[in-house]
């Protein structure tokens, strides 16, 4: 790998042969010189307006063009107006680019265009594992969210699936006599109780609480899964039902109400600014974080950077245990950060589709992951004596003027979200984070309705309102504002305002 990367130092003269030109703003590449390579067109969002148009970007273009044997004409569109541009592009069917990159989940206009046959079904192509050794390893559960009428119209841009979990201050656990990492809900309860009432910071005051919480409701979603609650929806008796209609949900909710009434979480959490999430642990007010594992790692980084002393031994630095699941369960993330579609108007033949897929597949090879995420060897990074990638410091490049800016927008990150060879040298904290990810991937609870919701007219019409009704009711119940009768009344409101129709439609779409 090291020798291969070093062999990719190409000259500007070679770059001129390809003739790939990139303009700023809402722009499309000029026609390329004849190279014998397939040419594909791609509509991609731009965050800075300087994508692949910075100093040394020509070298980046040369490297990915040569490696993938593909010339790419990029149409860069400003991120602030990208949604509108997508809408206009879907209307102008005669001028669609081959490849369209989009963020988030499927939207109503994309689904409508897909139902009218605007995009290729990519699943049959990706059965060819020899042609597409990377993309063929896509996660079927994540991909289901980009399926319309049984056709997979999008390749997701992968993100860690087992990212959500539990982490805690190890020195606090040591202080209160917890010698074993919690595995069950009872053991978790014991920890947050002792973190609240057993003076884990050793100052003799009642000034701590177990779990860090703000009005960000993600921790409750994660903790629900520990009780067997599904991810949004669950299959019961051959039917998909929303999780609030399950017995497991009520068990979890009553437990949440219990820990709130016992003071194990801060009483004002529903009004605490989400932007402060994590500060209570940094400041020594709370000991448990239920969130993405990299948030726990960043708190650990903070302890190291600021030399926060351990409460058991001030000569040592406080640390976090990036544990992960409880009860062998955790909430799966969406597993993606947007998706890429191949239009039938742009890619008119199966060979066109194969050319696009070839490019996308090659961009997931380690050498391209390094190029897209780290940039150029000898300019932005070098190998150290152990073969690790280390950045050149001080770096003259910011994100905005980096040579490879924008290239990662056409990387699917399948099957890996980063290069496996070479790699950067990881800290102890990063190793712990990645070990937690690895442990949680097979335990992550996915949403069985993920592939159906984008096709639901009821979801498009009132889905946001329905979700808010349930979120408000859960918060009010946890905090004792409403009782069981009030909770059931909220559930009825949900059903009357479209929930019943949503259940019927989701099951009809199966």
DSSP letter string over 372-392? HHH--BTTTEEE-TTS-EEE-
Do the domain assignments include residue 416?
A: no
pLDDT along the chain (510 residues), means of 10: 47 34 36 72 96 98 98 96 94 90 90 94 98 96 90 96 97 98 98 98 96 96 98 95 98 98 96 94 97 96 97 97 97 95 97 98 98 97 95 91 97 96 94 96 93 89 96 98 98 98 94
Place of tokens 């949440």: 256
The whole-model pTM stands at 0.82
On whether both 222 and 140 belong to a single domain, the answer is: no
Q: Where are the alpha helices (DSSP H) in 45-182?
A: 57-68, 82-91, 108-115, 140-143, 170-175
Give the pLDDT of residue 6. 46
Do the domain assignments include residue 143?
A: yes
Give the pLDDT of residue 34. 60
On whether both 6 and 36 belong to a single domain, the answer is: yes
On whether both 341 and 489 belong to a single domain, the answer is: no
CA distance 445 to 195: 28
Place of tokens 């019409």: 461
Do the domain assignments include residue 227?
A: yes
On whether both 215 and 327 belong to a single domain, the answer is: yes
Q: Based on the number of CB atoms within 10 Å of its own CB, is 413 exposed (0-12), middle (13-18) or buried (19 or more)?
A: buried
Counting the structural domains of the chain, the total is 3
Do the domain assignments include residue 445?
A: no
Do the domain assignments include residue 428?
A: no
Domain housing 484: 456-508
Rounded alpha-carbon distances, angstroms, from residue 212 to 106, 166, 219, 321: 33, 11, 9, 15
Q: Which of 70, 86, 98 is nearest to 26 (CA)?
A: 86
Residues in the chain: 510
What pLDDT digit, counting tens, does each position of 355-372 carry?
Answer: 999 999 999 999 999 999
Give the pLDDT of residue 71. 97
On whether both 247 and 366 belong to a single domain, the answer is: no
Please report which helix (H) or strand (E) contains residue 359, including its range. Answer: helix 350-362
On whether both 108 and 146 belong to a single domain, the answer is: yes
On whether both 316 and 169 belong to a single domain, the answer is: yes
What pLDDT digit, counting tens, does each position of 172-200 carry?
Answer: 999 999 999 999 999 999 999 999 999 99
Do the domain assignments include residue 352?
A: yes
Rounded alpha-carbon distances, angstroms, from residue 410 to 72, 85, 125, 156: 10, 18, 18, 11
On whether both 138 and 32 belong to a single domain, the answer is: yes
CA end-to-end span of the chain, whole Å? Answer: 45
Give the pLDDT of residue 490. 98
On whether both 151 and 172 belong to a single domain, the answer is: no
Do the domain assignments include residue 266?
A: yes
- Which of 410, 425, 441 is the C-terminal boundary of a domain? 410
- Which of 354, 381, 410 is the C-terminal boundary of a domain? 410
On whether both 128 and 228 belong to a single domain, the answer is: no
On whether both 121 and 249 belong to a single domain, the answer is: no
**Buried (b) or exposed (e) across 117-136, using 16+ Cβ within 10 A?**
ebbbbbeebbeeeeebebbb
Give the pLDDT of residue 309. 98
Q: Which of 83, 122, 81, 79 is nearest to 99 (CA)?
A: 122
CA atoms within 13 A on the CB side of 52: 30
Domain containing 271 — which CATH number? 3.40.190.10
On whether both 108 and 221 belong to a single domain, the answer is: no
- Which of 331, 347, 371 is the C-terminal boundary of a domain? 331
Do the domain assignments include residue 449?
A: no
Instruction: Evaluate whether 354 touches 361 at the Cβ level (below 8 Å).
Output: no
Give the pLDDT of residue 25. 37
What pLDDT digit, counting tens, does each position of 245-263 carry?
Answer: 999 999 999 999 999 999 9
């Amino acid at each position: 790998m090291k020798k291969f990367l070093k062999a990719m130092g190409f000259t500007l003269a070679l770059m001129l042969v390809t003739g790939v030109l990139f303009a700023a703003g809402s722009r499309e590449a000029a026609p390329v010189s004849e190279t014998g390579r397939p040419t594909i067109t791609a509509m991609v969002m731009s965050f800075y307006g300087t994508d692949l148009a910075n100093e040394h970007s020509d070298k980046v273009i040369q490297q990915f063009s040569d490696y993938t044997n593909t010339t790419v004409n990029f149409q860069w569109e400003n991120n602030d107006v990208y949604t509108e541009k997508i809408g206009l592009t879907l209307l102008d069917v005669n001028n669609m680019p081959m490849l369209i990159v989009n963020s988030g989940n499927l939207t109503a206009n994309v689904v409508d265009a897909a139902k009218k046959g605007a995009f290729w079904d990519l699943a049959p192509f990706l059965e060819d594992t020899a042609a597409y050794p990377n993309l063929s390893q896509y996660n079927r559960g994540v991909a289901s969210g980009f399926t319309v009428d049984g056709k997979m119209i999008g390749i997701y841009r992968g993100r860690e699936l087992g990212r959500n979990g539990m982490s805690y201050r190890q020195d606090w656990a040591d202080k209160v006599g917890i010698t074993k990492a919690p595995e069950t809900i009872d053991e978790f309860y014991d920890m947050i109780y002792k973190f609240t009432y057993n003076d884990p910071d050793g100052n003799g005051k009642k000034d701590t609480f177990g779990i860090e919480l703000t009005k960000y409701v993600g921790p409750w979603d994660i903790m629900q899964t520990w009780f067997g609650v599904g991810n949004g929806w669950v299959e019961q008796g051959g039917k998909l039902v929303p999780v609030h209609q399950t017995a497991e949900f009520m068990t979890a909710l009553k437990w949440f109400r219990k820990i709130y009434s016992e003071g194990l979480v801060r009483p004002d959490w529903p009004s605490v600014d989400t932007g402060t999430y994590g500060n209570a642990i940094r400041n020594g007010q709370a000991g448990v974080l239920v969130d993405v594992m990299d948030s726990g790692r960043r708190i650990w980084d903070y302890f190291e950077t600021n030399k926060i002393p351990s409460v058991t031994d001030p000569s040592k630095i406080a640390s976090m245990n990036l544990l992960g699941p409880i009860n062998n369960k955790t909430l799966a993330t969406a597993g993606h950060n947007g998706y890429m579609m191949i239009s039938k108007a742009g890619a008119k033949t199966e060979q066109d589709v194969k050319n696009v897929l070839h490019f996308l597949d090659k961009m997931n090879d380690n050498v391209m992951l390094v190029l897209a995420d780290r940039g150029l060897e000898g300019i932005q990074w070098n190998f150290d004596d152990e073969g690790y990638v280390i950045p050149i410091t001080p770096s003259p490049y910011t994100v905005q003027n980096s040579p490879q800016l924008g290239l990662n927008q056409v990387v699917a990150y399948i099957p890996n979200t980063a290069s496996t060879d070479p790699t950067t040298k990881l800290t102890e904290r990063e190793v712990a984070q990645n070990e937690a990810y690895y442990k949680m991937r097979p335990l992550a609870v996915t949403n069985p309705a993920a592939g159906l919701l984008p096709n639901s007219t009821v979801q498009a019409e009132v889905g946001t309102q329905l979700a808010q009704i349930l979120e408000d009711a859960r918060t009010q119940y946890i905090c004792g504002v409403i009782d069981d009768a009030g909770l059931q009344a909220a559930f009825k409101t949900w059903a009357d305002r479209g929930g019943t129709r949503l259940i019927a439609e989701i099951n009809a779409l199966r």
